[in-house]
Amino acid sequence: YRKIRMTYYDAGDAVQVFNSVWYPDAKYNLPVLGIDLLSFNRKKYLAIVDFQPLHPDEDSHSTIYEHILKPIKEKYDNLKGRMSSKFYDETQFFSKEMLFARFEDGKIVNDDLFPAFKSYVETHVDLVKNTPQAKNPQDVQHVFERQQAYDTYSADRDPAAGLFAAMFGKEWAEDFIYDFLFSLS
């Protein structure tokens, strides 16, 4: 991996947020693993786990891994939701096999979310271990540029920006988002 970034915010029972992005080394033409797990008052939950494609035309690229994810996702009806377009366009940097859920039943966390999350992480690690490295420097550079595009897209649309600004100030929030969370932006 080129970078694995994890952030965790814990405000007790009121709010807990775990966010992580796993960037394969650019020698591997693979998607980024994106994870967002949120709990509000231990009554409302939001979960997103996805192999986030890097390329604008992902049809041929996504067939490499989406068929591996489909049987995992099929096991968990509670994780087959659709994302709102309020912050993101799900046709950009999101796969068809994204796990997405909003729910209020905490039992879903242990019964569905954690096993599916674990399977997606293990599958991503296996892909990185078993994918041949690119030999052509131009191919490596192209993947790195797509990771930069991913970071820019994500930083510009991060829904947590308002929360960070309210808690820590606008300048801190922007520095955190652009310099740490999505440092290639």
Given the structure tokens 């879903």, which residue do they identify? Answer: 108
Three-state SS string over the chain comes to CCEEEEEEEECCCCEEEEEEEEECCCCCCCCEEEEEEEEECCCEEEEEEEEECCCCCCHHHHCCCHHHHHHHHHCCHHHECCCCCCCCCCCCCCCCCCEEEEECCCHHHHHHHHHHHHHHHHHHHHHHHHCCCCCCHHHHHHHHHHHHHHHHHHHHHCCCHHHHHHHHCHHHHHHHHHHHHCCCC
Q: Enter the pTM of the model.
A: 0.89
The predicted pLDDT at position 127 comes to 94
CB neighbour class for 152 (10 Å; exposed up to 12, middle 13-18, buried from 19): middle
The predicted pLDDT at position 133 comes to 96
Structural fold of domain 3-136: oxygen-dependent coproporphyrinogen oxidase (3.40.1500)
The predicted pLDDT at position 134 comes to 95
Distance of CA 127 to the CA centre of its chain: 16
The predicted pLDDT at position 87 comes to 43
The predicted pLDDT at position 147 comes to 96
Q: Which residues of the chain have pLDDT under 70?
A: 56-63, 83-93
Boundaries of every domain in the chain: 3-136
pLDDT, tens digit (0-9, with 9 covering 90-100), for 27-79: 999 999 999 999 999 899 999 999 987 876 655 556 678 889 999 999 999 99
The predicted pLDDT at position 52 comes to 86
Amino acid at 68: I
The predicted pLDDT at position 88 comes to 46
The predicted pLDDT at position 44 comes to 95
The predicted pLDDT at position 58 comes to 56
Extract the tokens encoding 161: 């920006």
The predicted pLDDT at position 155 comes to 94
Amino acid at 60: S
Distance of CA 139 to the CA centre of its chain: 23
